[in-house]
Amino acid sequence: MKFLIITLLVAGCTGETGGERIAFDASVHAAAPTLAYDDPTTGWHVELTTARVVVGPIYLWSQRPIDQEDRGFLRGEIVEQAAIDLVASAGATVPLASGDGLAGEALSGELWLAPPKTGYSFDLAGTATKGATTVAFHGGLTIDDTVIDESRGATAFEKRRVRAIPIDAQITDGGTLTIHCDARRWLTGAVFEDLAPDGAIAPHDPIWNQWFYQVRQSTIGPWSLSWSTP
């Protein structure tokens, strides 16, 4: 239902903004050419063997948010989800469904980490090494009401919206929006001394909490946006 509401807002903006209706392509760039890295904040060397993510929908807004909701008007949208294997496509770009909207300037993006029909939004496995210690880890993360206590404040829907991702672009017909995702930032700051003996990253344990924090960050997290013209 929420997808439909935003689509209707786009349809109603043409007269107010003067932008012509346009269509554009979209893709996800698996930003890391290799998924092995050193985390300088913890001293762990991490190698990811599995890094899958389901992205979408995504929305482009006419201004940078002044507060949580003041984003101007909706400039463009891609309402379909796509599952991306960031290991298999490391360093490469994967096409997404096309988007549509109104021509003009976009100054921020909003990515929804909506739960997929099956599986997790994020699926992760790998090893972490510090000195003579190597541990294997694995886990999944989906932001829904099974892990968010909505009686204590924000809903799962609010928690899975990554707002104010920077972009500064003129949205034009036939252009391409690229969502860059760097899986090396999913576990930045994770302390693997806290890992459970079986290697599972379970909801609300310290590593899961760090993962949950990182993927929701618009500037220091794994996401960035770019626009290219034909």
Structural domain contains residue 22: no
**How many angstroms separate the CA atoms of 159 and 217, rounded?**
11
Structural domain contains residue 184: yes
- Residue range 131-154: average pLDDT? 94
Does the pLDDT of residue 2 top 60, yes or no?
Answer: no
Q: What local confidence, expressed as pLDDT, does residue 50 receive?
A: 97
Structural domain contains residue 52: yes
Q: What is the pTM of this model?
A: 0.88
What is the per-residue pLDDT across 9-60, written as a single tens digit (0 to 9) for each?
444 444 455 589 999 999 999 998 889 999 999 999 999 999 999 999 999 9
Q: What local confidence, expressed as pLDDT, does residue 69 receive?
A: 64
Domain count for the chain, please give it.
1
Structure token digits, residue 127 = 């090893």
Structure-token match 């707002």, residue found: 163
Structural domain contains residue 138: yes
Domain residues for the domain of 68 are: 2-14+30-228
What are the residues whose beta carbons fall under 8 Å from the beta carbon of 82, sequence distance 6 or more?
Answer: 28, 54, 55, 56, 94, 96, 97
Structure token digits, residue 43 = 């001293």
Structure-token match 């909003």, residue found: 110
What are the residues whose beta carbons fall under 8 Å from the beta carbon of 201, sequence distance 6 or more?
Answer: 124, 137, 138, 139, 141, 195, 207, 208, 211
Structure-token match 């880890």, residue found: 137
Which uninterrupted H or E stretch holds 8? Answer: helix 2-11
Lowest mean pLDDT across 7-16, 38-47, 147-156, 196-205: 7-16
What is the per-residue pLDDT across 89-125, written as a single tens digit (0 to 9) for each?
999 999 999 999 999 999 999 999 999 999 999 999 9
What is the per-residue pLDDT across 71-83, written as a single tens digit (0 to 9) for each?
788 999 999 999 9
